[in-house]
């Protein structure tokens, strides 16, 4: 990919990236700005999302593909979640009868860890070909196959002729390589670059065609809304890689421009496309809420030569949605929120709630880098100081933070906040609307509905207990983060 980037987000050459920190937002902004945000690690950590999950999720819905997970059985547990999303996506797209993704797990065991799992991998690849006859066979690596040193690339090269015309694509998403799960997305795009696009020429540019890179968490209704908005200003979309195909991947070099729906999805790949093919790209914010959608659309329009069309369209949308947002504002004004999600959705959601007159009092983000710094500066100007937790799935810190901040609503994965009796909803909903102009109203109503109907979570808090003692709630939520 761009430069020497090897798919590990902590090591990107052009930005400092932090994964462990907690404190006030102004302090984060100031220290990062002076390049003195301390390198730190957690001495106690509850869980990390493995990057293999992100690679699997990104590619599992490729319609002409089969997948070999080269790992112990446990690592492939995430495939059942990704498969559920795949089935829901098919149902929303009217693609019946529903089918499961074509997954084969090599099921590495103790013997393989000692003697190697290469023979099992060969067997699985041949089985994938004979059973499914796919155009693409992706191999997902794991900690185990990485640590024992199976020569996965060598086996892919060795069997390529035999299994042709299927293309074998090893994805180096060994979980131990990165604490940032979005590295798994990068591993997928590195693999697409290396094994599918290879030295494909730029070809003839298709005017008005935009590569739209979308993470698997985008619902079909959101995909339609984004494609509708772009269509309004004369842009057509090559939607990748969710529900895409080998043919769509091969169209990538002929697009006029590229953009992504999420800020941490395909950003490095788009830089690579710019370097290799001169394809311009836009990297702004996630299109959640009017102001973010305006910004996102203007970014995409600028590289496609459609700025005037976008401005005219945005002016009409503002007229259309102003009264609806005002109505939501009456219901949400002054409510205090904590937001917890992936980097893209957290920051877009945090800006959105300002449209509703709400106040941000805390948020979590898996990483802090140059992009996040810009977002935090923006939010500091909007809200003043708020609590920031940089971490990947740390529920013990989250409950402590929520106990102290006592927000009116928690926007994020609700499991822990609900057990504190706090109304909850989320912006990461793969099954319902979130993005663009039309879906803003759905999202606002969802927040308002939860605030006006808190009974369910109150009952959960009354009858369920969390495993923490009062002493933990009295303590510093970030006490296990130590400078290194």
Interacting positions 41-70 with ligand SF4 (CB under 6 A): 50, 52
Give min distance, CB of 140 to ligand SF4, in A. Answer: 9
- Residues facing residue 260 across a β-bridge: 213
* Between 143 and 405, CB nearer to ligand SF4: 143
Q: Kindly tell me which residue out of 71, 238, 284, 317 binds ligand SF4, with binding defined by CB under 6 A.
A: 71
> Which phi and psi (to 5°) does residue 206 adopt?
-95, 110
For ligand SF4, the closer CB: 174 or 267: 174
CA–CA gap between residue 315 and residue 311 (Å, rounded): 6
Question: Contact at 8 Å (CB) between 127 and 104?
Answer: yes
**Which residues between 127 and 156 bind ligand SF4 (CB under 6 A)?**
142-143
User: If binding means CB under 6 A, how many residues of this protein chain bind ligand SF4?
Assistant: 8
Write out the DSSP string of 257-309: EEEESSTTSSHHHHHHHHHHH---EE-----BSHHHHHHHHHHHHHHHT-HHH
How far is it, in rounded angstroms, from Cα 389 to Cα 367? 9
Nearer to ligand SF4, 73 or 98 (CB): 73
Contact between 413 and 340 (Cβ < 8 Å): yes
| Residue 401: Cβ-neighbour burial (10 angstroms; 0-12, 13-18, 19+) | buried
Q: Which helix (H) or strand (E) holds 18?
A: none
Which residue number, 145 or 317, has a Cβ lying nearer to ligand SF4?
A: 145
Task: Write the CA distances from 25 to 106, 231, 233, integer angstroms.
Answer: 45, 38, 37
Residue closer to ligand SF4 by CB (options 51, 238) is 51
Q: Smallest gap, in angstroms, from Cβ of residue 51 to ligand SF4?
A: 7
CB of 377 to ligand SF4, least distance (A): 33
Shorter beta-carbon distance to ligand SF4: residue 2 or 143: 143
Residue 181: left (phi > 0), alpha (psi -120 to 50), or beta?
A: alpha
CB of 175 to ligand SF4, least distance (A): 2
Does position 105 interact with ligand SF4 (CB under 6 A)? The reply is: no
Q: How far is the CB of 50 from ligand SF4 (least distance, A)?
A: 3
106 touching ligand SF4, by CB under 6 A: no
Residue nearest to ligand SF4 (CB): 175
134 vs 175, beta carbon nearer ligand SF4: 175
Question: Rule CB under 6 A: is residue 75 a binding residue for ligand SF4?
Answer: yes
CB 212 within 8 A of CB 260: yes
Q: Among residue numbers 174 through 203, which ones bind ligand SF4 (CB under 6 A)?
A: 175-176
Nearer CB in complex with ligand SF4: 175/342? 175
Q: For residue 278, what are the contacts with CB-CB under 8 A and spacing of at least 6?
A: 202
Which residues are at the interface with ligand SF4 (CB under 6 A)?
50, 52, 71, 75, 142-143, 175-176
């Amino acid at each position: 990919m761009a430069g020497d980037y090897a798919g590990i987000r902590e090591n990107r050459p052009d930005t400092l990236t932090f994964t462990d920190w907690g404190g006030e937002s102004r302090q984060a902004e100031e220290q990062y700005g002076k390049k003195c945000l301390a390198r730190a690690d957690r001495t106690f950590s509850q869980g990390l999302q493995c990057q293999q999950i992100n690679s699997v999720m990104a590619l599992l819905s490729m319609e002409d593909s089969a997948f070999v997970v080269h790992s112990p059985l446990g690592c492939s547990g995430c495939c059942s979640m990704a498969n559920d999303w795949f089935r829901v996506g098919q149902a929303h797209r009217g693609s019946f009868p529903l089918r499961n993704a074509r997954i084969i797990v090599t099921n590495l065991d103790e013997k393989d860890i000692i003697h190697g799992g290469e023979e099992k991998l060969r067997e699985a690849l041949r089985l994938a070909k004979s059973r499914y006859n796919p155009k693409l066979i992706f191999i997902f690596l794991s900690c185990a196959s990485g640590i024992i040193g199976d020569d996965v690339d060598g086996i892919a090269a060795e069997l390529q002729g035999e299994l042709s015309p299927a293309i074998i694509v090893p994805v180096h998403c060994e979980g131990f390589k990165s604490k940032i799960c979005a590295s798994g997305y990068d591993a997928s795009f590195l693999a697409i670059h290396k094994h599918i696009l290879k030295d494909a020429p730029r070809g003839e540019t298709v005017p008005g065609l935009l590569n739209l890179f979308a993470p698997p968490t985008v619902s079909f209704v959101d995909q339609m809304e984004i494609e509708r908005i772009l269509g309004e200003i004369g842009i057509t979309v090559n939607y990748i890689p969710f529900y895409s195909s080998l043919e769509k991947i091969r169209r990538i070099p002929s697009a006029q421009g590229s953009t992504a729906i999420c800020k941490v999805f395909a950003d490095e790949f788009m830089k690579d496309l710019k370097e290799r093919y001169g394809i311009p790209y836009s990297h702004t914010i996630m299109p959640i809420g009017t102001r973010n959608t305006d910004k996102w659309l203007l970014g995409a329009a600028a590289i496609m030569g459609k700025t005037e069309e976008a401005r005219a369209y945005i002016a009409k949308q503002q007229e259309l949605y102003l009264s609806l947002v005002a109505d939501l504002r009456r219901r949400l004004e002054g409510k205090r929120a904590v937001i917890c999600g992936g980097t893209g959705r957290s920051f877009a959601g945090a800006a959105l709630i300002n449209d509703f007159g709400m106040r941000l009092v805390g948020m979590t983000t898996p990483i802090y880098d140059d992009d996040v710094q810009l977002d935090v500066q923006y939010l500091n100007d909007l809200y003043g100081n708020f609590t920031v937790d940089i971490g990947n799935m740390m529920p013990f810190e989250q409950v402590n933070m929520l106990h102290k901040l006592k927000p009116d609503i928690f926007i994020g994965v609700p499991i822990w906040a609900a057990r504190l009796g706090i109304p909850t909803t989320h912006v990461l909903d793969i099954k319902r609307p979130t993005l663009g102009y039309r879906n803003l109203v759905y999202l606002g109503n969802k927040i308002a509905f939860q605030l006006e109907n808190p009974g369910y979570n109150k009952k959960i808090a009354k009858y369920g207990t969390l495993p923490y003692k009062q002493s933990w709630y009295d303590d510093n939520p970030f006490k296990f983060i130590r400078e290194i």
